[in-house]
Amino acid sequence: MVHEGDLADRGELVATLHANTTLKGREVGEARVWPVHRLTYLMAEFATGLAPGWEAGVHLPVMRSGVDGPSSNNGAWGGSAIMFRLKHIREAGRWFYGFNTEYDINARRYVNEPRSAEFRGIVGYDAERFRLTANPHLIWGWGRSGTERSPDLNLDLKALYKAGERLAWGIEAYTDGGKVNRLRPGEGDRTVYLVTEFETALGAVHLGIGQGFKETPERYLLKGVWSASF
């Protein structure tokens, strides 16, 4: 997900359920990481406001394997990680800006690095009929021998058209710029989603259909997000 300017109020609990599935993708995983072909992710997220402009959250993802292989069994479930995050947002007129920091403890079926951290910049413009958001972010992984220390530099983008008070649609792009000490702009993973967002009596819903380009292991994807406040 692209991080935008939304925050939980102090004392408010926001519960979110993420679901992603890869309809078609690479059928061979790296080392002990499960292959992405027909892989499904489910993630529960809980966030609460700490003070004006500040939010803390925890993510609890699990995954379901879609193929048989050396490190996976078709239909098997397993935990992915536990993720802790802290988000800060400020507003200046229609502009919003801030950051999200995250620390992850990962299972080997999810990624090769047992631990990882992320620093994500957030900047956007929220107009009456559209909203634009950019997330440049750095990701560090460590805990495995031979892991390169230089972080990955990625850029996520989102453009949303507001068709009404409760309905919007648009596009998201997720890009991989490579290692900071060895950037490869235009050569890394590229994933583009067509998305829609709408409000219901039971909470907010986000749906997307995506395609991977370049070296992206995931070729065709579906995702859905539901969130509600308490």
Rounded Cα gap, residues 83 and 214, in angstroms: 28
The DSSP code for 34 is: P
Report helix, strand or coil for 198: strand
Q: What is the pLDDT of residue 91?
A: 98
> Could you tell me if residue 7 is inside a domain?
no
CA distances from 56 to 39, 84, 164, 165 (A): 28, 8, 30, 27
As a whole number, the mean pLDDT across the chain is: 96
Q: One-letter amino acid identity for 95?
A: W
From 163, 155, 169, select the one nearest 205 (Cα to Cα).
169
Q: Is 1 a member of any domain? A: no
User: Residue 2: inside a domain, yes or no?
Assistant: no
Residue 54 CA to residue 207 CA, distance in Å, equals 26
pLDDT, tens digit, 9 for 90 and up, residues 86-130? 999 999 999 999 999 999 999 999 999 999 999 999 999 999 999
38 is in which domain, residue-wise? 13-229
pTM, two decimals, is 0.94
In CATH, what number is assigned to the domain containing residue 160? 2.40.160.40
In this predicted model, what pLDDT tens digit does every residue of 146-169 receive, in sequence order?
Answer: 667 899 999 999 999 999 999 999
Number of domains in the chain: 1
In angstroms, how far is the first alpha carbon of the chain from the final one? 22
Q: Is residue 53 part of a domain?
A: yes
